[in-house]
Amino acid sequence: MKRMYPHLCSPIRLGNVTFRNRIFSAPMGATDIATDCSVGPRTPGFYELRAKGGAAAVTASELAVHPKTDASHSLHLDLSVPGCLGSHTFLADAIKRHGAVASIELNHCGQYAGTYLVDKEKKASLCQYGPIDWVRPDGIPVKALTEEQIAEIVKSFGEAAGLCKRAGYGMVMVHAGHGWLLNQFLSPYYNRRTDRYGGSLENRLRIVREVLESVRAAVGPGFPIELRISGSELFEGGYDIQEGCRIAQGLEDLVDLMHVSAGTYQIGFFVTTPPMFAEHGCNVHLAAEVKKHVKVPVATVGALNDPDKMEEIIASGKADVVEMARGLLADPEFPNKVMANHPEEIVHCLRCYTCMAERPTTETRRCAVNPLVGREMEGLDLVPALVRKRVLVAGGGVGGMEAALTAARRGHQVTLCEKTGELGGILREEQAIPFKRAMYQLGVTLETLLKKHGVDIRLNTEATPELVEREAPDALIVAVGSSPIVPKLAGMEGRNVVVVNDYYLRGNQLTDDVVVLGGGLAGCECAIHLGQLGKRVYLVEMRDELAVDCNIRQKPILLEYTHRFATVHTGLQGESLTDEGLVCRNVKGETELVPGTSFILAVGQRSNTAAADALRDSAPFVRVVGDCVQPANITQAIYQAYHAAKDI
Ligand SMILES: Cc1cc2nc3c(=O)[nH]c(=O)nc-3n(C[C@H](O)[C@H](O)[C@H](O)COP(=O)(O)O)c2cc1C
């Protein structure tokens, strides 16, 4: 068979181990960790999904090698606790049985230990250790590690690696990037020690070299060791890419794969984990530069999920391995689809940060577009239906499409009715905004998959009670969505007013001074895009806060962009439109004018409750999903739709 992506699909040998292709699953924290510091029951499935999906290596994360001086989260993996090893054997098995190499990341958070602890008192009572005595910008004091403590930590990396090998992992990753302990020693900004562990580059490299030697001594020759570094710290005073290359050169003799990431978690979270506003593969240049200076194979990571681009990276020699984190949460089958020449079937990551926000919010994992993530224990496989039923889905938005697809994949005979002339629902509206293109693409991909699975798609067909009665399906899934709330404001008549949902159709009619009414997610994103187009944008929100429903990871970057591209007015209630702008009332009851000559209305969505209710008695099995239950987000719509179709 001729592969579409021959370089990406080619095997690579690291140490004594052959990896089946060039797509590695980058480290992502476990779904659950038990209170005894072993791997929790939900976690093996979390990693297994990506092994089954064809990744060549799947890296579990994050083992705390020296908990005496480190505690990264409220719970962490600790192999030194008696009785924990077996849980790792089960985890490694779950990865290996699908032909992937199981790897695990070994880390020490150093002076940022306890960063994630929600329990503020516990966090304050922890002692943070780093290269030097100092006080962190958030007021937390840090103690300098003594040479004895360094020696203990170095030893603990080796001991942990040896236990990992015994548990069945086929590779280990040493974490020396993203601002954690080993990075803190490499960094001229943080490491101002005056002993043999600080000062010159040779001295700053010392602890990492000792760690790698300790790990090698424990795992023996031929066992692959991957080293994760930040190619550049990307903040003022941190090391730059030139020094990043020298760091890689100074360590390459001790590793089998040099994994080049970017930035630090604490100062550059959005560099390390690029947001939807950043270009695909925005950090590849760092790996490409390192590759010019080392002989050892190099891996790249960061916002990569386009197989064409990934193929080009390998083919052109910018890197030897492409690592993906979020892209493989969104579609664990990505590597299998690439190997099978079916890139059109890939469900792409939206870079919405749902995955990263769930951990601090609900202590679980989730993915907006993959309903299995964090819930793998409930079953990785979609079970075929015992009896083939006739299923009708009302509504061709994201919920309806997901429900129809899932039902069809289970073997049911599915009809999807959409009252407009196109599928996609709200996703269609995202095509106007380049940084939201992945959301529009999701609709396109789901449509492609529906056609491949033989779903009978009926456009311009409203699933009325009469139609459903006529069709007499065994099961009906109602996904009739929501409609925009359009406030009745004085002076709207005859003015240049565009409801945000129509922005993709009528956005080009807007003038150079635009007032956006409504500072929810849709209003903020539209304001950003208008600002990027060079327009003067005024964003008006009634509450004191913008984007209240936005997840906690996405929100800081969304707000930064909103303030960069729009003048924001909160606490203002829009009342009427005039030739000069939007007349508002402030909290004191006074009127204020926000200037502008055209207007976007983005004040929210209302469920299409009546349409949904009309269908509730139309079939033996009826399930209502998505926005018509309550306007929410893609995550909710996909999760409800998937499970509704599984229940038939
Ligand atoms: C849910 C999640 C958990 C992560 N956990 C870790 C971790 O434990 N250790 C680590 O080094 N990186 C972690 N990362 C960072 C990723 O390995 C990766 O470097 C980053 O997400 C950029 O790649 P991407 O754009 O493909 O997601 C995590 C990322 C995500 C999305």
Q: Tens of pLDDT along 69-86?
A: 886 566 788 998 889 999
% of residues, the chain, pLDDT over 70: 98
- 399 in ligand 1 pocket by Cβ < 6 Å? no
Instruction: Tell me the pLDDT band of 444, cut-offs 50, 70 and 90.
Output: very high
Tell me which residue has its CA closest to atom 6 in ligand 1. Answer: 28
For residues 626, 631, 634, 638, the Cα torsion angle rounded to the nearest 10 degrees is -10
Residues 95 and 222 in one domain: yes
Count of domains in the chain? 3
Tell me which residue has its CA closest to atom 12 in ligand 1. Answer: 27
Rounded to the nearest whole angstrom, what is the distance from the C-alpha of residue 28 to the centroid of ligand 1?
5
Is residue 327 within 8 Å of 305, Cβ to Cβ? yes
Is residue 602 within 8 Å of 516, Cβ to Cβ? yes
Residues 158 and 293 in one domain: yes
- 356 in ligand 1 pocket by Cβ < 6 Å? yes
Distance CA 366, CA 352 (A): 11
Q: Is the Cα torsion angle 627, 633, 638, 640 positive or negative in sign?
A: negative
Residue ending a domain, choose from 351, 378, 405: 378
Rounded to the nearest whole angstrom, what is the distance from the C-alpha of residue 576 to the centroid of ligand 1?
47
Rounded to the nearest whole angstrom, what is the distance from the C-alpha of residue 151 to the centroid of ligand 1?
28
Whether the predicted pLDDT of 318 surpasses 90: yes
In a domain, 491, yes or no: no
- 324 in ligand 1 pocket by Cβ < 6 Å? yes
Contacts 24+ apart (CB under 8 A), 380-383: 380/45, 380/48, 380/49, 380/52, 382/406, 382/409, 382/410, 382/646, 383/410, 383/646
pLDDT at 573: 96
pLDDT at 73: 62
Q: Tens of pLDDT along 91-145?
A: 999 999 999 999 999 999 999 887 655 555 666 667 789 999 999 888 888 999 9
Rounded to the nearest whole angstrom, what is the distance from the C-alpha of residue 25 to the centroid of ligand 1?
9
Residues 263 and 278 in one domain: yes
- 230 in ligand 1 pocket by Cβ < 6 Å? no
Residues 474 and 551 in one domain: no
AA identity, residue 244: G
Tell me which residue has its CA closest to atom 3 in ligand 1. Answer: 28
Identify which has the larger pLDDT, 139 or 241.
241
Rounded to the nearest whole angstrom, what is the distance from the C-alpha of residue 355 to the centroid of ligand 1?
10
pLDDT at 74: 66
% of residues, the chain, pLDDT over 90: 90
Residues 554 and 634 in one domain: no
- 31 in ligand 1 pocket by Cβ < 6 Å? no
pLDDT at 72: 59
Whether the predicted pLDDT of 625 surpasses 90: yes
Residue in the block written with tokens 């020094």: 243
- 326 in ligand 1 pocket by Cβ < 6 Å? yes
pLDDT at 116: 59
In a domain, 536, yes or no: yes
In a domain, 60, yes or no: yes
- 327 in ligand 1 pocket by Cβ < 6 Å? yes
Whether the predicted pLDDT of 184 surpasses 90: yes
Residue 581 maps to which CATH number? Answer: 3.50.50.60
Tell me which residue has its CA closest to atom 29 in ligand 1. Answer: 28
In a domain, 412, yes or no: yes
Residues 327 and 258 in one domain: yes
In a domain, 492, yes or no: no
Residues 364 and 394 in one domain: no
Residues 114 and 238 in one domain: yes
Tell me which residue has its CA closest to atom 11 in ligand 1. Answer: 27
Q: Tens of pLDDT along 458-491?
A: 999 999 999 999 999 999 999 999 999 999 999 9
Residue 629 maps to which CATH number? Answer: 3.40.50.720
Rounded to the nearest whole angstrom, what is the distance from the C-alpha of residue 231 to the centroid of ligand 1?
16
Residues 339 and 450 in one domain: no
Locate the ligand 1 atom nearest the alpha carbon of residue 274 and give its number: 25
- 214 in ligand 1 pocket by Cβ < 6 Å? no
Residues 558 and 635 in one domain: no
- Rounded mean pLDDT of 181-190? 97
Structural domain that includes position 411: 390-484+608-646
Vertex 364, ends 361 and 369: CA angle to 5°? 95
3-state SS class at 8: coil
Residue ending a domain, choose from 325, 344, 378: 378
In a domain, 385, yes or no: no
- 48 in ligand 1 pocket by Cβ < 6 Å? no
In a domain, 429, yes or no: yes
Residues 394 and 361 in one domain: no
Tell me which residue has its CA closest to atom 30 in ligand 1. Answer: 28
Locate the ligand 1 atom nearest the alpha carbon of residue 355 and give its number: 1
- 301 in ligand 1 pocket by Cβ < 6 Å? yes
pLDDT at 454: 98
Residues 337 and 352 in one domain: yes
Residue 108 maps to which CATH number? Answer: 3.20.20.70
Residue 243 tokens read as: 């020094």
Rounded to the nearest whole angstrom, what is the distance from the C-alpha of residue 546 to the centroid of ligand 1?
27
Residue ending a domain, choose from 331, 347, 378: 378
In a domain, 383, yes or no: no
- 273 in ligand 1 pocket by Cβ < 6 Å? yes
Is residue 108 within 8 Å of 64, Cβ to Cβ? yes
What's the predicted TM-score (pTM) here? 0.96
Q: Where are the beta strands (DSSP E) in 96-220?
A: 101-107, 128-130, 134-135, 141-144, 171-176
